[in-house]
Structure 1
Amino acid sequence: MDYYNHEQVFEAATKYFEGDTLAANVWMNKYALKDSENKFYELTPDDMHRRLAKDIIRVESKYPNPLSEAEVFEVLEKFKYIIPAGSPMAGIGNDNQISSLSNCFVIGNDGKSDSYGGILKIDQEQVQLMKRRGGVGHDLTHIRPKGSPVKNTALTSTGVVPFMDRYSNSTREVAQDGRRGALMLSIGIKHPDAEDFIDAKMEQGRVTGANISVKLDDEFMMAVKNNTTYTQNYPIDSDNPKYKKEINARELWNKIVHNAWSSAEPGILFWDTVIRESIPDHYADYGFTTVSTNPCGEIPLCPYDSCRLLALNLYSYVEKPFTKEAYFNGDLFTKHSRMAQRLMDDIIDLEIEKIDMILEKINADPESEDIKRTERVLWEKIREKSIQGRRTGIGITAEGDMLAALGLQYGSEDAITFSTEVHKLLAIEVYRASVDLAEERGSFGIFDAEREKNNPFIKRIKKHAPKVYEKMLKVGRRNIAMLTIAPTGSISICTQTTSGIEPVFMVSYKRRRKVNPNDKNVVVSFVDEVGDSWEEYNVFHPKFITWLKVNGYDADEVKGKKDDELNAIIEKSPYFNATSNDINWVSKVKMQGDIQKWVDHSISVTVNIPESVTEDLVSDIYLTAWESGCKGMTIYRDGSRSGVLVKDDEKQEKTDFPESVAPARPNTIDADIIRFQNNYEKWIAVIGKINGKPYEVFTGKAEDFYLPPYVESGWVSKIKTKGERTRYDFEFEDKQGYKISIPALSRSFEQEFWNYAKLISGVLRHGMPITYVIELISNLTVAEDNINTWKNGVVRALKRFVPDGTDAAEKICASCKEEAVVYEDGCLICKSCGESKCS
């Protein structure tokens, strides 16, 4: 089989995306067919789309009235009309990896398990799904509250929060071919530990591997509105609960609002609305009780159900975009909506094949049966749910660009009305297609029209598409539920459009590139501290470039304009006052609520608000969302995730601070050698010191930098010769007393490690306390597994320089709550209760 190297694919993909290197990189890294040796078997997305079409028509051929390969390829080509989400794009027709085609899963124990065995079973299931590309959600409401009696040596339960840490840490350690695991943890507001859950992520560095959402019921929301008390109990749905307490609903609500205002979490789920509108919950006795959502919140699911996602590119249905004659091609959209549901049903069959491959691998693995049992049973349950319900996740992307292309300002009354009609049309035609598929292929196995007849969504279908409903009563429906609106972040980069239901984030932003000042026609914007010349230029949202061209502008010329000139042009476009930070929150919430009526699952949406917004306004946003029929909501206040957690109240009041000047570096400084091992790889660190304190860091894999095992110290010399840049050499004394020099430390290690090391060295030499440097590095969130490995080693190396007795950055002990945590021998020790933690 022919293959291509990285350079060949990058060049061809960049040409395919008309110079958009970001789109080329995303496609190459996430979706192109390649093997573990990084050999590429697809040169452009055309090859990928042919792979998808070929496998889909293999399924089509099993059923009546099959589509042709050409028909399927036509709607996939150029990411123009129908775009499968990441897992289907990467997995369909891909024999190089055994992975699921599902984007998201929810897991949970049968019954009301709250034992350690049940908790650990969920942990393993979560990891097993993440290693197959799956995002995972699960609910913690079943765990008994803090202080409850238990029949083990602990005597009382630790409550929910420690298990949030466990699940978060599991997520962070699972690598997925460049992806990290995605996790949603939820809890019902009725649970007595709900407040602790809500506060968990306010402690810096805690639960960083999960999104968290709190499930709010109507009883709680009414208590908030009326400022009355609310009863929490455990178990939450018991008639005779073991634990019960009354709380002030408004006070807990204010805590939710404050934390969301401060840090964008928790997200909130209006759970009674979710359950009331849920069609699968009418089949609860078959195991379809909805318990949580996927990590982005757009698919509420029952345990062991999964969903594959697909989006229609709304921009592509606008004919003559950005002109006075622009219109939405409803006939083509209708045709493709039906076709999309057909393709999604085919992908379910392909997913069942993938699950069978996973099960075959598990059965063939040499481990003993007791080790394999949890993983095998997990996939058997997922397979059963896939066949029983045949759930799909059809959504959209490019809503913002569609409206702009039609000359409608995002958030306006006209735009909301139009968007709602588009989603209504999508819902009716997708349901029509599922009914037609039931006639051709059979309905999902447990379909029962009588169970669903009072469901609000089904009633809307009955009212607005009576013929579809009448036919459904006769032949059934192929799929239990079908619609969603996901974020579509990566695939919208490939479609070169706005993402999901969202408006454009920014019309333009600035980017820099290094230039040769002697080149002809080069524009030097500034020269940096090492003498390199840089050009600064504007980067535009792709469809804004289309608007420029339609309106007679030279896009390349506009890219070089000054800010005031550029802003004057943007003000003439339909994107003016229509970015994510411009949209009035009332309009955003109303739009979500109106569209939600035509989405049988949920909508992933974030309301972006300015930094100046008050907590009272955030409260109003959430209350309005609940009253508007939204199923969930996340808000993001500009700047809310930076500087949230301040350790010193006195420091919090300071608004200015003096710049620090790093001490002059001698030409040669002392250095320590520290060796460590992570993930079975050997690593090495060279720590340069001034007056015994770390001043600079050089580190990477030991195989790139050979030193005799006896070398534990030496010197780092800064060398600058005529015509060369500065370099750093390492010197050590061998056993015979001779000084040995290893030149150019920067070239000895991989460039990515060198770049991070430069950043950390800058922080060290400017005097940040070593404990805070360690905390800073520990809390870096990076996608690549090799960088995480490197990061952990640097933390361990620097901890050796923390004097015993030094206060920790977070001094409050998690166990005894005393402010007594210090460093000893590189470990965190509580001087009050003796609790210790080493990394």
Structure 2
Amino acid sequence: MENNKTYSYDEAYGASLEYFNGDELAARVWVNKYALKDSFGNIYEKSPEDMHHRITDEVVRIENKYKNPMSAEEVFGLLDHFKYIVPAGSPMTGIGNNHQVASLSNCFVVGLDGDADSYGAILRVDEEQVQLMKRRGGVGHDLSHLRPKGSPVNNSALTSTGLVPFMERYSNSTREVAQDGRRGALMLSVSIKHPDSEAFIDAKMTEGKITGANVSVKIDDDFMRCATEGKEYTQQFPVESDNPKMKCTVDASKLWAKIVHNAWKSAEPGVLFWDTITRESIPDCYADLGFKTVSTNPCGEIPLCPYDSCRLLSINLYSYVENPFTDKARFDFDLFRKHVAMAQRIMDDIVDMELEKIDLIMEKIKRDPQSDEVKGTEYHLWEKIKRKSGMGRRTGVGITAEGDMIAAMGLRYGTEEATAFSVEVHRTLALAAYRSSVDMAKERGAFEIFDAGREAANPFINRIKEADPQLYADMVKYGRRNIACLTIAPTGTTSLMTQTTSGIEPVFLPVYKRRRKVNPNDTDVHVDFVDETGDSFEEYIVYHNKFIEWMKVNGIDTAKRYTQEEIDELIARSPYYKATANDVDWLMKVRMQGAIQKWVDHSISVTINLPNNVDEALVNRLYVEAWKSGCKGCTVYRDGSRSGVMIAVDKKKKGGDKSGGTQLPPCSHPQVTEVRPQTLECDVVRFQNNKEKWVAFVGLLDGYPYEIFTGLQDDEEGIVLPKTITKGKIIKQTNEDGSHRYDFQFENKRGYKTTVEGLSEKFNPEYWNYAKLISGVLRYRMPIAHVIKLVGSLQLKSESINTWKIGVERALKKYIVDGTEAKGQKCPVCGQEALVYQEGCLICKNCGSSRCG
């Protein structure tokens, strides 16, 4: 019987906080993202225990349709407290949810056969991706079928516009779709063989373009050989035709250098080693039956054919380590095999649930008030997805907590010993999952188009055959329930609930500091310092959950307040030492991915995190090593690189710009810095308009204004600072959810450093938006006098914003070099255009009048 009791947010949060043993972040994530809700936001579950009972009931319902069903006790024991098996977001929120009609699939790919580059086909794909995104799905599709720029077309345009305008179309559509408060997710791919691939590679380097999509290039082995050997490479269209309409040759090494440069600068494009993907793909053995892989989901871990989808689930590897963090640590392979088999069964049950969900979606579409003409596309889309899902019964069993498992075994992430152990775990997982799929084929029947002969030459299947000949023999005899079984996906928010490292990644940081304001009169409060305004602050340490487990196992007091030196000493003693995301040997990480990939039939989502100061040669080396190691794809992220996605400032040629501009003399103003430094020196500028007190924080790079934050002082949601503070630092920080904020830090008379967190959150959003506009032109080094003129020319209706303009002008005038002419402005006394800036004021060289304002 369905429970219609609802809970307040505070009730659910309180119960979840207790469930997660006081982990506030895990509790909030669960209530906000995964608790059962209706379309109005009413909450129907009090804690994850309720959710796990809901999922258990549905799994057992499906199990009871088949032979040898699992019991409710078995299933709940796997799910409880996220200990062993963790369904991904869409299954977790959608299973047993009768309040909302949504798919259980995390990943989709769409794409039309035939004349797929007609306007009708392009618009159809656009509509299909939107329809899927509104049901929570991430979508991928390939653009290799679109005609290159300049190709003849059969309409009044005469020639094709190429790929980029359609990239923008699909990107904009994605940004318009909201999924439970989050935007849609899109992957766009193109073959390197396509003559427009260079334009595709460059498309995201322009600020404001293609902001709603991830982009990846499908790279074949021939291109990689040409790029590494300095040879020419042939592009053509159609890319797979034996008789192409267009052919051209390119310098492969130069095009490869552009891919590397753009990835170094902006973290995109990602690379997909397409020959490796298709050569290893089991579904591609059935390409002629509609299972030809064409693109991937947005995170790249599931290569898919058109209109197929995949549901995901993770196994918590840490939970299989007995006696963790001791010299007696061992991995329980027997329990692991048993649970992998059960996980594969649950995944197959979820395929049945998804087919039921698709029926509900199609019934809802039928009932919708729109005409059949309007809703026909969506209905037909789900018909195609249901057909493909039922034919292949594709699943995505993956893992999380790889980093914690390695540490718990006393190994160091990134070493050869740790990689060898991980490979053995993933080999065991693959064999157990495939054994389970074969056993289900005996009980439930093989997937509809299974044909052992088609798969006989597949490298992945032959690895299975070599590792377990009996398994292969049974598979040939009975078939397999699922066309493909395995993946390794990112497990960002779900790993917060397992309280472990995410996916295959190492720990991000084992220990970090946070600060909070406290009431000094409260009991059990330690006041670290009191600032000039009398506010008391406490600094506290946040430990990675499994780092605390290591401390407990080794008899280290977890309640003691440690100094930074003591914390550093603790980390150095732990298995997390030199094993964080920024510490690991990047080449070893790539080789580890390639070695594990051999036991994952889909793909692996992994990012190589690099510090800001690495050069492009390292990115090149990592990408080439990924290809050689057998990776199916690779993404690098250089710290701060995302903020470097800007339109390049044209460098003027000697002798001046032929368009009429003049060449600036050397060092007339600082150079453009596209990537914002993490820390900037800051001036605090105070001013008063009428009775209002204002403050501006001006971030300085080489003494020159680079950004500005400004707003009211002493406002309830504004800034309160000691009057003596005139300088400090603005620090760009990364929040736990990956977003950014800007903190102001200053040192008071006692030498304590005080931080005002989140300048962007302290002011009226309207001020913040205009401050971003002004900061943008400051970063591109528009002369200060021109910036002031720009600010003054803003036509704003709001009285308060116009007052704000005056404050910004006054703050910036401080940085104008004396003697700078105010071109275009006339003296209000004598009427002559003879005004210059001196000490922040306008002085008329003709009559001597002075005006500050």
Q: Which residue matches 1:245?
A: 248
Q: Give 2:160's aligned amino acid.
A: S
Q: Which residue matches 2:469?
A: 466
Return closer, same or farther for 1:798/1:234 CA change in 2, 3 Å cut-off: farther
Q: Which residue matches 2:590?
A: 589
Q: Give 2:24's aligned amino acid.
A: T
1:435 and 2:438 aligned = yes
**CA apart distance, 1:305:** 0.3
**CA apart distance, 1:667:** 3.5
Further displaced range: 510-519 or 248-257: 510-519
Aligned ranges 1:317-332 → 2 under 5 Å: 317-332=320-335
Return closer, same or farther for 1:529/1:641 CA change in 2, 3 Å cut-off: farther
Return closer, same or farther for 1:765/1:349 CA change in 2, 3 Å cut-off: closer
Any idea what the Cα deviations from partners look like across 1:729-759, whole Å, max 9, x if unmatched?
xxxxxxxxxxxxxxxxxxxxxxx99937446
Q: Which residue matches 2:642?
A: 641
**CA apart distance, 1:123:** 0.8
Distance of 2:160 and 2:601 partners within structure 1: 38
**CA apart distance, 1:556:** 2.7
Return closer, same or farther for 1:794/1:553 CA change in 2, 3 Å cut-off: farther
Q: Could you tell me which runs of 5 or more consecutive residues in structure 2 were left unpaired when the two chains were aligned.
A: 652-668, 695-707, 722-757, 781-795, 806-853
1:353 and 2:345 aligned = no
Q: Which residue matches 1:755?
A: 761
Return closer, same or farther for 1:161/1:662 CA change in 2, 3 Å cut-off: farther
1:566 and 2:567 aligned = yes
Distance of 1:68 and 1:338 partners within structure 2: 14
Aligned ranges 1:77-92 → 2 under 5 Å: 77-92=80-95
Return closer, same or farther for 1:794/1:204 CA change in 2, 3 Å cut-off: farther
Q: Which of 191, 206, 211 pairs up with 1:208?
A: 211
Any idea what the Cα deviations from partners look like across 1:568-595, whole Å, max 9, x if unmatched?
1110000000001111012101111111
Any idea what the Cα deviations from partners look like across 1:633-677, whole Å, max 9, x if unmatched?
001112222345375467436799885554613135799xxxxxx
Equivalent pairs, count: 715
Contact 1:663 1:765 survives alignment (8 Å): no
Q: Give 2:565's aligned amino acid.
A: D
Return closer, same or farther for 1:278/1:794 CA change in 2, 3 Å cut-off: farther
Q: Which residue matches 2:617?
A: 616
SS of match in other structure, 1:127: helix
Q: Which of 275, 278, 299 pairs up with 2:302?
A: 299
Q: Which residue matches 1:22?
A: 25
Q: Give 1:231's aligned amino acid.
A: T
Q: What's the TM-score, normalizing by structure 1?
A: 0.81
Q: Which residue matches 1:335?
A: 338
Distance of 2:760 and 2:508 partners within structure 1: 32
SS of match in other structure, 2:516: strand
SS of match in other structure, 1:652: coil
Aligned alpha-carbon RMSD (Å): 3.0
1:388 and 2:382 aligned = no
**CA apart distance, 1:768:** 2.8
Distance of 2:599 and 2:539 partners within structure 1: 45
Return closer, same or farther for 1:456/1:770 CA change in 2, 3 Å cut-off: closer
Q: Which of 651, 656, 664 pairs up with 2:687?
A: 664
Aligned ranges 1:26-37 → 2 under 5 Å: 26-37=29-40
Distance of 2:192 and 2:760 partners within structure 1: 47
Aligned ranges 1:14-163 → 2 under 5 Å: 14-163=17-166
Q: Give 1:613's aligned amino acid.
A: V
Q: Give 1:185's aligned amino acid.
A: L
Return closer, same or farther for 1:211/1:765 CA change in 2, 3 Å cut-off: closer
Structure number, greater radius of gyration: 2
SS of match in other structure, 2:540: strand
Any idea what the Cα deviations from partners look like across 1:462-490, whole Å, max 9, x if unmatched?
11111111011111110000010001111
SS of match in other structure, 1:321: coil
Distance of 2:417 and 2:681 partners within structure 1: 51
SS of match in other structure, 1:636: strand
Aligned ranges 1:172-183 → 2 under 5 Å: 172-183=175-186
**CA apart distance, 1:111:** 2.3
Any idea what the Cα deviations from partners look like across 1:715-740, whole Å, max 9, x if unmatched?
xx98889xx999xxxxxxxxxxxxxx
Contact 1:259 1:265 survives alignment (8 Å): yes
SS of match in other structure, 2:522: coil
Q: Which residue matches 1:652?
A: 671
**CA apart distance, 1:696:** 7.1
**CA apart distance, 1:244:** 1.6
Any idea what the Cα deviations from partners look like across 1:161-209, whole Å, max 9, x if unmatched?
1111111111111111122211111110011111111111111122111
Q: Give 2:357's aligned amino acid.
A: K
Return closer, same or farther for 1:764/1:368 CA change in 2, 3 Å cut-off: closer
Distance of 1:762 and 1:277 partners within structure 2: 50
Distance of 1:236 and 1:436 partners within structure 2: 41
SS of match in other structure, 2:127: helix
Any idea what the Cα deviations from partners look like across 1:298-351, whole Å, max 9, x if unmatched?
000000000000111000000111111110001100100111111100000000
Q: Give 1:561's aligned amino acid.
A: Y
Distance of 2:645 and 2:687 partners within structure 1: 33
Distance of 1:718 and 1:499 partners within structure 2: 42
SS of match in other structure, 1:664: strand
Distance of 2:175 and 2:335 partners within structure 1: 43
**CA apart distance, 1:761:** 2.9
Q: Which residue matches 1:768?
A: 774
Distance of 2:538 and 2:74 partners within structure 1: 46
Return closer, same or farther for 1:495/1:725 CA change in 2, 3 Å cut-off: same
Aligned ranges 1:784-823 → 2 under 5 Å: none
Q: Which residue matches 1:279?
A: 282
Q: Which residue matches 2:366?
A: 363
Distance of 1:435 and 1:80 partners within structure 2: 26
Aligned ranges 1:376-525 → 2 under 5 Å: 376-525=379-528
SS of match in other structure, 1:642: helix
Q: Give 2:343's aligned amino acid.
A: A
Contact 2:34 2:92 survives alignment (8 Å): yes
Distance of 2:714 and 2:192 partners within structure 1: 62
Distance of 2:144 and 2:801 partners within structure 1: 40
Q: Give 1:666's aligned amino acid.
A: N
SS of match in other structure, 1:19: coil
Distance of 2:801 and 2:590 partners within structure 1: 48
**CA apart distance, 1:411:** 1.0
Q: Give 1:423's aligned amino acid.
A: H
Distance of 1:237 and 1:496 partners within structure 2: 46
SS of match in other structure, 1:153: coil
Q: Which residue matches 1:628?
A: 629
Q: Which of 234, 259, 263 pairs up with 2:262?
A: 259
SS of match in other structure, 1:436: helix
Q: Which residue matches 2:740?
A: none
**CA apart distance, 1:765:** 7.0
Q: Give 1:494's aligned amino acid.
A: M
Return closer, same or farther for 1:516/1:667 CA change in 2, 3 Å cut-off: farther
SS of match in other structure, 2:141: strand
Q: Give 1:768's aligned amino acid.
A: I
Distance of 2:429 and 2:308 partners within structure 1: 24
Further displaced range: 108-117 or 314-323: 108-117
**CA apart distance, 1:263:** 1.1
Q: What's the TM-score, normalizing by structure 2?
A: 0.80
Distance of 1:767 and 1:100 partners within structure 2: 40
Distance of 2:104 and 2:551 partners within structure 1: 39
